[in-house]
Structure formats: C-alpha cells, structure tokens
Structure 1
C-alpha cells in the first residue's frame, strides 16, 4: 500500500484590524486536531508567514505544539529571506519543543545554487536532532531548485524531505529520480494526493484540508481500495472543494467563519470572497463537512 500522508497547512487568524487573533488561531488548531490527518504544517504560505513577526511566531508555535502536538505531527515552517533569520526561528521553535521543521528557499532577491546550499546548511545545523523539509516554491520565492541541487540538499544532516508547490508531476518525478526512496516528497497541490503518489510523492500538504478534511481522507481510503469508480467519485469531491476554496486564505477563513470555528480575517493584501463565492463556500461545506 502506498504512503499517502495528508499534512494540513493551517491558516493564521487575524482580527479585522490586522492584529493577531491568537484565540481564533488556537480554535483552528483544535479543529484541525480532530481531522484524522497525519500532520500539521504551521506558519507556511497558508499561515501568511511573511507577515508574522518574531513574537507572534513564538506565540503561534507554542499554541500549535500545545493544541496539536498530542494528536498529530507538527511541522513548523521557519523559512526566511536569510539564513540568519531562519536560524533564529529554528532556535525559537526548538526552545518551545518543536522537532520537525520546513524552510522555504531564500526569496525575493536572486540567489545562486551555492548560496541556497549554504542557507540550508545553516538551517540544517540549527535543527540539530530534529528533521527538516526543503520547501520548494519557485513561483513565490523566485528561486529554482534543480534536481541536482535537491540531491545535494538531501544529503545534509537532518534533511528528510521536500515540499513542492505549484510544480508539475514531471517535476516531482524528476526529484524522485535523484533522491533515495525514503526521502519524503510532499506535493503542495491539494487535489494531487493520488496523482502525485503515482510519480513518487508520499503525500500532500493541503490548505483546503484545514477546512474540509473529510473529502481528502475519503480519497486516500479510496486510493487504498484500488477501486477505480470509488477513486473517481472521491477525486471529484476533492476537485469540487479545491475549485471553490483552493489555496485562497480569505476563502478558507470565510469557511471557518461560516462553520463557527474562528472569526478570522487575513492580514496580507488578499481579495475577500464576494457574495457568489461565499454562497459556493457554503454549498461545499454543506456537501462535504
């Protein structure tokens, strides 16, 4: 049976004025803890990490470890534009008890492969006895990671896998061809839990599953059954949810508000869903909650 981890990328809740809603964030953590998913990805893209300061990072990591740690793996994202900042976030999270980490490549300014490798060497050293995922997201970071570079990063101490966002199945296959079988590859494409598995990924990091986890769990079970009709039906449900909510944090938070989980908004400059979108969000909640 193939491994199909579902790791939930969790949104951060903010008040309407942009201030951190720590209690709302904790309510989301507690909701996700009941999902049955294998892990939680905290303070990644879905968590609006570029807009989180150091004190907020500390508070959110502490809350996540308390509210999620007994129920699922907690992967803390520490990626920053510099190794200095990323290492500092590793140190804070380790002090709080975190042992699994992910780090986006450096971002915004162009960076050569050697500089990216040096960045991950520093982060890997800071992780110590923990484990580290390389987070590859060239459409947001501006930094490409070639298969050759990933193969080198995979040999660093503590680097156990990679999260790959908005890249093709062929890209995932290319990464799989240069790393060991036990090196974990997670796709960031919510709907590709099965498709990515067919080219060597061991799971998905899914923001949509923070809102409606059941369709994703049903798809994983269907894939394990091997029944083509069951898989097609489960995939259609996931596709429907992803089409409506997708990697859109304001829509995720609108859904969480509608379900009474947390009354949160986004801090970053994102477009709020209109009435038509809100109606569709309510439709998929009714259908798949």
Structure 2
C-alpha cells in the first residue's frame, strides 16, 4: 500500500475526502447562501475532511464575482475552523483570479484552489506567470486545479515542475483522469499534496500516492466515500475496492437521464436535502429521470441513505 499522507510542506495537510460543495439556489435561481452553508454542514457532519466551495459542482462559471464572494463567506462562516475550507478562485483572467483570491483570504478561507485559466489557449510560460502572480498576491496555500477537459489547457509535467517551485503552491487537484500523468507527477513531486479529482479514481489515486480525493459523489453520499478512504487508510484494501465499485454504480446512476451534475442535486433531494435547481442552462432531472435515479440508487447494496 502506497503512503497517502499529505506532503510535509502542505500547511493544511489536506487529505481524505474533500467534496466540491454545491451552490444552492432559490427557485428563481438567485443565490441561496443559507442552504449553501447548510450543505457544507451536511457533508462535514458526515465525516468529510475538508470542503471545496466553488469547484465544478459549485457551478462557479455561472456565478457573478459578488455571488462567488458570498458563497465563500457563507461556507467559511459555517464550517471554518472545523475542517479546511479551500475556496475556488479561478477565472479566465489573472486579474479576476487575484481579486477572488484576495477576498477569500480576507474572509478566512484556509487555502485557494486555482483552476488553470480557460477559454484561451495557454502555453507553459503563460500558466507559470499566472500562478506566480496569484501566489504573490495572497499568503494562502495554493492548490492547482488541473482539469484540461473543461479548460482546454493541459499542464505538461515540465510546466508542473516549474509551478512546484513556487513557494505558495502546496498541491494539485487533478481531474485529468490521465493516470500516467498523475502517477508521474506524484513520483516527481513528493513535496506536493495530490488529490484525485474523479470519483472513478478514488481508490486508484490512493494507490499511486494521492492523499485523498475531491469527490462529487461525496456531495450527496459523503458516508460512502469517507468509508472508502478510511478502509484504505486502515489497510483494508479489499473493502476499499468494494466501496470504489459502489461509487462506480452511483456515478452511473447520476448520469442516467441527464448530466452528471444534475444527479448530484437530484440525489440530494432524494435524501431530503433540497439545494434548489441548477442555474440555467443546466437543469435538474425531470420526473421520469428522477424515478430512474431513485430506483437505481435503491438497488445498490452498499449504499446507506
């Protein structure tokens, strides 16, 4: 079993299960700060080890800068001091990213997650300049969010090596699903903490040296993902594999009759936690798809809800 301890130089010692918490909306799609904070409480009370507001599941590209700031404030006020709160601050421009990072620092976030800038293609030099500028602007640990399928910008291993030399860079949340890239990145950078960014790779990520995972499934079923992590940490790989298989089933259920993210908020409703709609043009599952989701979830033996 590979060590899954966070890197010694990571000030937050990030590990375990870190859900990319949802942003809640009222029926008119206006921001619901109270329920957004309540969702952070929902996952923390069920054993997660940190929270990541304003990740992909937090619908951050669909929010205004003011709304993003209010989400971070709500989550920090609710669970700050209990678990690390690492706030998503990334934007296409360095200017906007720094502004969100400065706000996160001012309201007590423990760290920042900076997605690779998106829409415009970047070379390694541009990525390096961007992360250096953000790191220089605030005194918080910075975690690189690598998700090339959404940003269109993949970080090469050589660029990652240059980024790792920035003092503030504490780790990487890798959602590339490129296991060879992730394995080589971990092998080359024991000074960084790595978090697997896909529910399909929680067990695999731990096997190759990740300290934990950012899990969308954990937004709706935190108990399942926490149990998988704890089984692995206790040396029970067989049980951890079984629970990873259960996560595969949950992922497939989430995708039925609509987009994966609609499965998260719809599943939360089935657990009697209503985080409201997704913001347009995203949408929740319709009645037929919701019934199918319920049936599929109820058929999963290891899922307690």
Give the alignment's TM-score, normalised by structure 1.
Answer: 0.92
Contact 1:255 1:285 in 2 (8 A): no
Deviation at 1:156, TM superposition (A): 0.5
Q: Which residue in the other structure is 2:289 paired with?
A: 277
Aligned-residue offset at 1:240: 1.7
The one-character-per-residue Cα deviations of 1:87-125 (angstroms, maximum 9, x if unpaired) are: 000111111112301100111011121111110001111
Residue in 1 that maps onto 2:213: 204
CA–CA distance in structure 2, aligned partners of residues 162 and 228 of structure 1: 24
CA distance in 1, matches of 2:298, 2:137: 41
Matched residue, 2:180: 170
Partner-residue secondary structure (3-state), 2:18:
strand
> Residues 27 and 262 of structure 1 are in contact (CA less than 8 Å); yes or no, is this contact kept in structure 2?
no
Q: How does 1:111-190 map to 2 (within 5 A)?
A: 111-128=122-139, 130-179=140-189, 181-190=190-199
Q: Which moved more, 1:238-247 or 1:2-11?
A: 238-247
Gaps (5+ residues) in structure 2?
6-14
**Could you tell me which of 11, 17, 26 is aligned with 1:15?**
26
Residues in 2 aligned to 1:263 and 1:38: alpha-carbon distance in whole angstroms: 21
Unaligned 5+ runs, structure 1: none
From 73, 76, 80, give the equivalent of 1:69.
80
Deviation at 1:231, TM superposition (A): 3.1
Return the alpha-carbon distance in structure 1 between the equivalents of residues 70 and 32 of structure 2.
11
Match of 2:47 among 27, 30, 36: 36
Residue 79, structure 1, aligned to residue 90, structure 2: yes
Contact 1:212 1:285 in 2 (8 A): no
Bigger CA drift: 41-50 or 247-256? 247-256
> How big is the shift at 1:260?
2.2
Query: Residue 28 of structure 1 contacts residue 262 of structure 1 at CA under 8 Å; is this kept in 2?
Result: no
Quote the RMSD (CA, aligned, Å): 1.9
Q: Deviations over 1:56-77 (max 9, x none)?
A: 1221111100111132110001
TM-score, length-normalised on structure 2? 0.88
CA contact (8 A) 1:80 1:104 kept: yes
